[in-house]
Amino acid sequence: MCGIAGYAGKGDVVTTIISLLIELQHRGQEAAGIAVVAKSKEILTIRVKGLAIDILANDAFHKLSFSNPCCGIGHVRYSTTGGYMDSQAQPITVGEGLLKIAVAFNGTIANYVALAKEFGLRSYPGDTYVLAEVLYRLALEYGKDVVEALKHLAEYVIGGYSIAVLTSEPRLVIARDPYGFRPLTYSYDGETFVFASETAALDVLGFRDWREVGYGQILSFDGKSLEATGSSIHVEPAPCIFEYVYFSRPDSIFNGVSVYSARVRMGEELARNSPADGDVVIPVPDSGRAAAIGFSKASGIPLEEGIIANKYVGRGFIMPPQIRDSISRLKYGFIRSIINGKRVVLVDDSLVRGTTLKNIVSRLREAGAKEVHVRIASPPFRYPCFMGIDVASREELLAWRYISPSDIAKAIGADSLGYNTIESLLHAVQLQTVCTACFTGRYPFKNLTVDYLGKMF
């Protein structure tokens, strides 16, 4: 998934970017990085394993801070291709001579292997490196013009991207793919240009006059003026539905829709579509909370915080596979006085691999729950994503292996399991067009099926 941010203007460039990345930490916790253009026009980069705040402890941090940078970009990583904590930590710098660029992006390039071969790359650890090299080579082709390269990037790429490019001119360029899969927002007051993956990050830092980057829009800031243009291709928008279900912060706005309000409506729809006889509604914290509020409102069943999340563990969904099971056992505490003897309606945002929910259901029973009825605010997650979510194999998905909700309920140890419908989810989000491929298997790329896309990785 990942998060990107950047800043150009007066003040402390490095600290501002790190602050933005901290506000985007929920989008990636494997690695973080920052690249700035020094007064000498040299691009300086720090990449660290771990969290954004760990950049402060890096030996090169003071060099960046005292280089008098005018602008920079940053990134927090959640791996969707390549290995965990591998060489794809971003931003990465490519180019030589008068054109050097640093690139950070949020998304996935499904056809990166084919692109690497098309552009003659001898080695390619993953889609980040390929994307940066393709962009650089297109820029050379168009007279060293990064903006022109971004205009034509979508002609080559299959996948999703919200991207930031820093040039040694210096220039800061951001773009959102024509489908608009991933969020991207910015603020500009004539002197300062700042951007982040989510509106909440800008709000927290006091940049409240933000705007969302449009579908296929490209923005370029050279320190004097902000210029806007668009992609060479035009398609029907398909922003990711899972941003509303899980990834985005609840205090963010995506495509003009409040993420929190959409999640509450999901819970209300869920209560109507899949009611449950229960004594208490308990959310899976934190991403299930808003949907649980909606379920409680619509059903009349009281809401209680019966599960407490360890704030220092991070988000289980974006943990590397080898430690997800351990993390799911460590992350949650249970309030026995709320649970004991009760029929619990357990509400979560989604059910993907089932690791976390199976553990939670078991722990609820240990805490004395008489019954556990699981209710999921989204439809069954049955298909892999090739646009920025780390699910590239159907075999990982519980709803692919067990089609019947009753079979899935048995697999996670619940008394019953209920989902929202795709129609109710769309009603909750209130957008005309979105990407629902993870639920429906219908990808927005013309004539490309799940089997075809899967072979690209």
Q: Which active-site residues does the annotation give? A: 2
Both tokens of residue 174? 């951001």
Whether residue 27 contacts residue 2, with contact meaning beta carbons closer than 8 Å, is answered with: yes
Q: Is 89 helix (H, G, I), strand (E, B) or coil?
A: coil
- Residue 214 DSSP one-character state: P
The letter for the amino acid at 213 is V
Bridge partners, residue 45, by sequence:
35
Task: Measure Cα distances from 425 to 9, 122, 269, 292, 317 in Å.
Answer: 41, 44, 8, 15, 20
Residues whose CB is less than 8 angstroms from the CB of residue 266 and which lie 6 or more positions away in sequence, other chains included: 244, 245, 290, 291, 294, 349, 377, 378, 420, 424, 425, 428
| CA–CA gap between residue 331 and residue 309 (Å, rounded) | 6
Beta strands of 199-238 (E only): which ranges? Answer: 211-212, 217-221, 226-230
Dihedral pair phi/psi, residue 237, rounded to 5°: -55, 145
Residue with token string 């950070």: 104
Whether residue 217 contacts residue 228, with contact meaning beta carbons closer than 8 Å, is answered with: yes
Strand bridging mode 280-283 / 332-334: unpaired
CB 25: neighbour CB atoms within 10 A? Answer: 17
Beta strands of 251-290 (E only): which ranges? Answer: 253-254, 257-258, 280-283
Residue with token string 């965990």: 84
